[in-house]
Structure 1
Amino acid sequence: MKTDIRELLLDRIFVLDGAMGSLIQQYNLTDADYRGERFKDFPHELKGNNDLLSITRPDVIKEIHAKYFEAGADIAETNTFSGTSIAMADYHLEDLVYELNFESAKIAREVADEFTEKDPSKPRFVAGSIGPTNRTLSLSPDVNDPGFRAVTFDELVIAYQEQVRGLVDGGADLLLVETVFDTLNAKAALFAIDQFFTQNPNHKYLPVMVSGTITDASGRTLSGQTTEAFLTSISHMPLLSVGLNCALGADLMRPYVKTLSDKSPFFVSAHPNAGLPNEMGEYDESPEQMAEVIEDFLQHGFVNIIGGCCGTTPAHIKAIATIASKYKPHQIPEAGHNQMLSGLEPLEITPLTNFVNIGERCNVTGSKKFARLIREEKFEEAIAVAREQCDSGAQILDVNLDEGMIDGVKMMPQYLNLLMSEPDIARLPIMIDSSKWEVIEAGLKCVQGKSIVNSISLKEGEEKFIESAHKVKMYGASVVVMAFDELGQADSYERRIEICQRAYDILTKVVGFPAQDIIFDPNILTVATGMDEHNNYANDFIKATKWIKANLPFAKVSGGVSNISFSFRGNELVREAMHTVFLYHAIKAGMDMGIVNASQLGVYDNIDKTLKDLCEDVLLNRNSEATEKLIVYAETVKSAGKEQVIDDAWRHQDVNKRLEHALIKGLTEFIDEDVEEARKLVNKPIEVIEGPLMDGMNVVGDLFGEGKMFLPQVVKSARVMKKAVAYLLPYIEAEKEVGESSSAGKILLATVKGDVHDIGKNIVGVVLACNNYEVIDLGVMISCDKILAAAKEHQVDIIGLSGLITPSLDEMVYVAKEMERLGFTVPLLIGGATTSRIHTAVKIDPHYSGPVIHVLDASRSVPVAGRLLQSELTQNQIFTEIKQEYEELRISHAARQKDKNYLSISQAREKSSGIDWTGFTSTQPSFLGVKYFQDYSLAEIAKYIDWTPFFSTWQLSGKYPKIFENETVGEEARKLFKDAQALLAEIIDQKLLTAKAALGFFPANSFGDDIILHDFTEKVNEVS
């Protein structure tokens, strides 16, 4: 018979017991009950200390456990919610902690064993309850001193270890860290648990459950984390389960439990309250009502463990146990290998993620200003430096306080506590950067999210390296590993990959460190120093990056970008160009992230060609004169400085080109006057937005996608766009006032949860408002429940969802599912850079019976909304057309994606062609080896263009040349073809493109299932 709870949870849903406090209240216990004989003369108030009843009224606690087991519970929580010295200090009973926990666990153990003995087929378990204490590590209790904390990480670890010892010795089967309102408190509890079992190997490591608390409709913990950020922050331990309890009833808890079921690599638990308390503080939700809501959890496969919290009774647990027996448990999704980080919000780094920018200015070694602010303890100004990094597009914030006159161990917690009190900064993951382990550890004790340690290395040998790595893992952080060992810093390609391979093997095989949480820094070292041995530093870094990505699975690559240009300090023009060119090549090689100064990044395509070529010569070490040539060039611009060498020729271009230039460069200086000039050239102000401004943003999007612009620059472009739209809004509003007064319809817009991008959505809102629609714009990062609640509140006619990043697509699918579940019928519009007709048809439309329509861009939103909100007949017509069109798209997609029936390897060998090569003489090609074509004729290539995909790209369906005869699209296709031919002729005539190719012929033969290529000069030398 199975007795391992992990195995049992695979078979059925487990039921956790209900509220302890609610049942204790029903006994109407007096002060004498709490005191008992032992504490009758105790000088302090004891009534209300429920944990104490395990000593003074064990019969009551035993009876409560029995009632819950009788009702069908599989797991009973010990009566130890406040069982730490910190919580017991309120009653002056700190010295009683071990005994309280031991006796509580012992009582629950006895009752559990009695019920298991009665029915061995249903073993009962004891969960040692570990509450959050009445102190918080992430929040200050003093509004006037946001950096103050009433407790330290170390104090909590000591308190939790004492509690754990009592629970383990008393007979608990598992440990439950519950009602987590501050994730840093939970991390201290997990640290204490891990440390206890590590230091006491004679004790079996008990399974650990963690249950957080979403405090209100904001969907966050009290300390500000989202559900996914909370999950990310505690996933470093091999937990039994992660879940939610308290604060909310089951109905309000649903979306957050759903998030855990989708994302958690562990079993999922939920024990909600019996609804919300009424004005008298009582819980009114009946067992039947609660069970009905929870059944929805079970039908959708959200949970493995279900129970009750405040207000629940044995009757509630009985009703829950009855329905739980009907359903199969939640299936844990397959574990992925994406790197997950978190501040108040999660940051997922996937293979599709663009370069991740790590803000570098909160570093005393790289910024004299910041160092001075920290030394002088001008913390408000130092916080402003961090905020500026966030506003400039940093996705991770690097903090380094290593300076001779700064006490890092003292100052790191002080500064981090202040940063963590600023929600707009605390949303980002923190990179704790120091060469001193004690400073890093002091920082780790202050950050509730999953941070990055920068850095550890093999400099002091393997023993020290392993010790540091184990600690980083215990604190739940990712780690930067420097390419540095006992012999010193790696400064060649060979040394870089040797050290990285060795470190990777130790971390993954000895420490058990997740590969996706390893970030290698293969040393970005200064080039153009005048020393020949430094010339290949950048090239070696790029080559090492490529090797790491190919040979060390899931590991990341980072580095301090500004190091590369240190030879040219003081010459910002050259440094910016070097950083931009270096990143362009390093990112192509696989560099995932880097510590950068957003103000020192340019646009690759916009760098002066001479300077760009010189930078590439130096960085890629393309010739021996590269350094000298760049130095000579740098001298010509050094005295002028960056500001004076900026070319203002763009100011003489036409206004549309000027607007495009301003958007790409992030320049706001002339935006008002240029927008005004553009406005005077059109009939309506909205045409400026739909025309040159949108055209400019499309160019920005293309450059970003090609890796030639970086996120901080896109953020600047967005600011320019917002300023331009803000200038036009008064004119747009004035135009509306003289038009129709009645609303054409009410449309809700939102950027979905997990996505902070809003430019496209904002433009859609402006365009719709210009056409007399009432727009309710909820903003960015909007959860599904908020979207649908607002839609009901405002009684909207249409819901529009926007998203720029790939994860937004999954959230849109979820919103569609929820709209169907909740009985919505209003049209759902889908838009944003990552969305498409095919994704909408295949992934979103099947989940919602109402109209689902993909809108290509802002200009299409008005006609689509207009058709949807015309007469019911028109709405039904477009609804039918779209559903039919999407069904055809799905059928076409399915046909392309249909699984192929592959034969087994043995069957394939049996069916091999069996060619008889006897007497065969191969035809000799005109040459052997590789032949290069440096400038192949474009006119010749043009003869072989397949034009059918070209027309498909422009959404004109039909095969070339028959498409010209199509009644619907034929005329447009002919126009498009004519334009394309003219452009192609221009490309060929002016040689705007150069065609290059490489072709090779090699002798070859088969060997088993392989094809062997040979060096053409001597057949015995195998190439591959």
Structure 2
Amino acid sequence: MHRFLERLHAPERPVLVFDGATGTSLQQMDLGPDDFGGAALEGCNENLVVTRPDAVQEVHRQFLEAGCDVIETDTFGATSLVLAEYDLQDQTYELNVKAAQLAREMADRYSTPEKPRFVAGSMGPTTKLPTLGHVGFDAMRDSFAEQARGLLAGNVDLFIIETCQDPLQIKAALAGLEQAFAAAGERRPVMVSVTMETTGTMLVGSDIAAVVAILEPFPIDVLGLNCATGPEQMKEHVRYLSAHAPFVVSCIPNAGLPENVGGVAHYRLTPVEMKMAMHHFIEDLGVQVIGGCCGTTPAHIAALAELAQEMTPAERPVRTPQAQLQRPLLGAEASAASIYGTTPYHQDNSFLIIGERLNASGSKKVRELLNSEDWDGLVAVARGQVKENAHVLDVNVDYVGRDGEKDMHDLVSRLVTNVNLPLMLDSTEWQKMEAGLKVAGGKCLLNSTNYEDGDERFFKVLELARTYGAGVVVGTIDEEGMARTADRKFAIAQRAYRDAVEFGIPAHEI
């Protein structure tokens, strides 16, 4: 077990404190264009690790002196997608390595056996929302993978995917991390921190229940909130996480809501006020990881570090590293999800109703709409099933002579923002399923999972489910065809259940 997880899951359950606002601290240094490497690079904080490493380490030093346990690397925007805006995309790997090394040096300097200090590799949301089509999944995943490789090479202790505004962006970041872990042959702990706007949802409209349902399948260690608001506006979201998230919960708020003072964002929450607000989260809701986002200074972090020494979080069930593969639900509910909300698999007053009309294999109308590429017409079919109280929408674009992967991409990318129900991606070809998964930020189901083409396709669908966080619907079909008797159906079901569980798909997703 990594030493950060050993500390996090120690018997005394310590409250761990992250640092404060890097941007706020750098702004207070009154840096000019020359500090950033020229006027064209002014504002690119990530380049300061090369041009002004002393300034970056001074920020780390101030927060370490204040008593934080974890400092974040100066890499919030250090993906090629963001660095391209400064024509620095070719330096992505090197900037991340350097940033991690600078933070590592400072953390090691302050670390003691009694109070170890850790480095979190910061991975921000980029400037693009994949759910809205700003960037493709593969490009975003690869950009995060490159960043993660650099941070790993610089020896970070954990990763924080932060200020997340789109569930699909989180999935791309997690997929990028998995690529980096596989290449390095080792893992690091993972923390995900989402941003809930004053509207009560993420920027693309996801509520906190959807966040939990979408992220529950993934091997993350800490889930929480940061940015956008102060602790007061985070209360109900944190309360939901405390009751339902199977992970350690974090809360890293701004120093209150930002106010425009003379054209500059100003944050009014004092260190004492922040300490008082976080007291409730720790004592009553079991929050174990705290820190500060925009507007928080070393004084805020010192107040939180003092609070951490005084308190033990309320007890709540969390997944231990040893239980990650089994994925116990704990307070979570087995559900599918759109990007907007959740649909429990077990309905209180009904069976789970799957809307099957959006199926090119079984509907002449859908085939005609698909052939004419009438996407609005297909969305209208989906909306009609919503009105008729379907719980989940099956999507099947299998139609001879058409590019099914493109059709699945084009249709699902429209459904996710126009329909508030989860999707069941249905195809005899796993490539089409994956095309849909790459544009569906919610938690999908994968239909037509069977042994008709042998083990290879069956396990490929399971791999998709594990990679993209989906459930599977298994048909009792094997190499000999569809089972006709109860005994044959039961035998195939047993085989599928055993194979899926051994592969790492928990029982509640089968």
TM-score normalised by the chain length of structure 1: 0.47
Say whether residues 1:285 and 2:269 are aligned partners: yes
The Cα of 1:397 is off from its aligned counterpart by 0.8
Question: Which residue, out of 277, 297, 301, partners 1:313?
Answer: 297
Match of 1:504 in 2: 497
Written as runs of structure 1 = structure 2, the 5 A alignment for 1:400-419 is 400-419=396-415
Match of 1:21 in 2: 23
Task: Report the Cα distance in structure 1 between the residues aligned to 2:316 and 2:181, rounded to whole angstroms.
Answer: 26
Task: Report the Cα distance in structure 2 between the residues aligned to 1:430 and 1:364, rounded to whole angstroms.
Answer: 15
Unpaired segments ≥5 residues, structure 1:
140-148, 519-1024
Match of 1:212 in 2: 194
Task: Report the Cα distance in structure 2 between the residues aligned to 1:29 and 1:111, rounded to whole angstroms.
Answer: 21
Is this contact kept in 1: 2:35–2:52, CA < 8 A?
Answer: yes
Task: Report the Cα distance in structure 1 between the residues aligned to 2:347 and 2:75, rounded to whole angstroms.
Answer: 45
SS in 2 for 1:356: coil
Match of 1:58 in 2: 53
Query: Which amino acid counterpart does residue 169 of structure 1 have in structure 2?
Result: A
The Cα of 1:76 is off from its aligned counterpart by 0.7
Question: Which residue, out of 212, 220, 224, partners 1:243?
Answer: 224
The Cα of 1:284 is off from its aligned counterpart by 1.6
Is this contact kept in 2: 1:176–1:209, CA < 8 A?
Answer: yes
Question: Which residue, out of 59, 63, 69, partners 1:68?
Answer: 63
Question: Which residue, out of 34, 42, 46, partners 1:32?
Answer: 34
Say whether residues 1:456 and 2:449 are aligned partners: yes
Question: Which residue, out of 101, 126, 129, partners 1:136?
Answer: 129
Greater Cα shift, 165-174 or 282-291: 282-291
Task: Report the Cα distance in structure 2 between the residues aligned to 1:482 and 1:235, rounded to whole angstroms.
Answer: 25
Written as runs of structure 1 = structure 2, the 5 A alignment for 1:462-611 is 462-509=455-502, 511-518=503-510
The Cα of 1:193 is off from its aligned counterpart by 1.1
The Cα of 1:330 is off from its aligned counterpart by 4.5
Post-superposition Cα deviations, 1:491-532, rounded to whole Å, max 9, x if no partner, equal 2212111111111111112x11111001xxxxxxxxxxxxxx
Is this contact kept in 2: 1:101–1:163, CA < 8 A?
Answer: yes
CA 1:486/1:195 → structure 2, altered by over 3 Å: closer, same or farther? farther
Is this contact kept in 1: 2:97–2:151, CA < 8 A?
Answer: yes
Question: Which residue, out of 99, 114, 121, partners 1:121?
Answer: 114
Written as runs of structure 1 = structure 2, the 5 A alignment for 1:364-403 is 364-403=360-399
SS in 1 for 2:417: coil
SS in 1 for 2:451: coil
SS in 1 for 2:259: coil
Match of 2:425 in 1: 432
With a CA cutoff of 8 Å and minimum separation of 6, indicate the structure with the bigger relative contact order. 2
Task: Report the Cα distance in structure 2 between the residues aligned to 1:192 and 1:456, rounded to whole angstroms.
Answer: 26
Query: Which amino acid counterpart does residue 14 of structure 1 have in structure 2?
Result: L
The Cα of 1:464 is off from its aligned counterpart by 3.9
The Cα of 1:3 is off from its aligned counterpart by 3.5
Is this contact kept in 1: 2:165–2:202, CA < 8 A?
Answer: yes
Task: Report the Cα distance in structure 2 between the residues aligned to 1:473 and 1:454, rounded to whole angstroms.
Answer: 14
Unpaired segments ≥5 residues, structure 2:
319-327
SS in 2 for 1:419: helix
CA 1:308/1:9 → structure 2, altered by over 3 Å: closer, same or farther? farther
Match of 1:267 in 2: 248
TM-score normalised by the chain length of structure 2: 0.93
Question: Which residue, out of 201, 205, 217, partners 1:224?
Answer: 205
Is this contact kept in 2: 1:9–1:329, CA < 8 A?
Answer: no
Match of 1:3 in 2: 3
Is this contact kept in 2: 1:267–1:330, CA < 8 A?
Answer: no
CA 1:330/1:182 → structure 2, altered by over 3 Å: closer, same or farther? farther
Is this contact kept in 1: 2:7–2:14, CA < 8 A?
Answer: no
Is this contact kept in 1: 2:4–2:158, CA < 8 A?
Answer: no
Match of 1:234 in 2: 215
Task: Report the Cα distance in structure 2 between the residues aligned to 1:45 and 1:446, rounded to whole angstroms.
Answer: 34
Post-superposition Cα deviations, 1:680-728, rounded to whole Å, max 9, x if no partner, equal xxxxxxxxxxxxxxxxxxxxxxxxxxxxxxxxxxxxxxxxxxxxxxxxx
Task: Report the Cα distance in structure 1 between the residues aligned to 2:283 and 2:499, rounded to whole angstroms.
Answer: 44
Post-superposition Cα deviations, 1:773-814, rounded to whole Å, max 9, x if no partner, equal xxxxxxxxxxxxxxxxxxxxxxxxxxxxxxxxxxxxxxxxxx
Say whether residues 1:102 and 2:97 are aligned partners: yes
Task: Report the Cα distance in structure 2 between the residues aligned to 1:348 and 1:355, rounded to whole angstroms.
Answer: 10
Task: Report the Cα distance in structure 1 between the residues aligned to 2:106 and 2:469, rounded to whole angstroms.
Answer: 36
The Cα of 1:488 is off from its aligned counterpart by 2.3
Task: Report the Cα distance in structure 1 between the residues aligned to 2:455 and 2:101, rounded to whole angstroms.
Answer: 44
Query: Which amino acid counterpart does residue 507 of structure 2 have in structure 1?
Result: A
The Cα of 1:7 is off from its aligned counterpart by 4.4
Match of 1:349 in 2: 345
Question: Which residue, out of 321, 326, 331, partners 2:315?
Answer: 331
Task: Report the Cα distance in structure 1 between the residues aligned to 2:200 and 2:506, rounded to whole angstroms.
Answer: 29
Greater Cα shift, 465-474 or 382-391: 465-474
SS in 2 for 1:300: helix
Task: Report the Cα distance in structure 2 between the residues aligned to 1:152 and 1:353, rounded to whole angstroms.
Answer: 39
Is this contact kept in 2: 1:375–1:405, CA < 8 A?
Answer: no
Is this contact kept in 2: 1:236–1:474, CA < 8 A?
Answer: no
How many residues align? The count is 493
Is this contact kept in 1: 2:142–2:176, CA < 8 A?
Answer: yes
Written as runs of structure 1 = structure 2, the 5 A alignment for 1:895-974 is none
Is this contact kept in 2: 1:456–1:482, CA < 8 A?
Answer: yes
Say whether residues 1:360 and 2:356 are aligned partners: yes
Say whether residues 1:88 and 2:83 are aligned partners: yes
Post-superposition Cα deviations, 1:264-294, rounded to whole Å, max 9, x if no partner, equal 1110011000001112221121111221211
CA 1:369/1:463 → structure 2, altered by over 3 Å: closer, same or farther? closer
Post-superposition Cα deviations, 1:750-787, rounded to whole Å, max 9, x if no partner, equal xxxxxxxxxxxxxxxxxxxxxxxxxxxxxxxxxxxxxx
Q: What is the alpha-carbon root mean square deviation over aligned residues?
A: 1.7
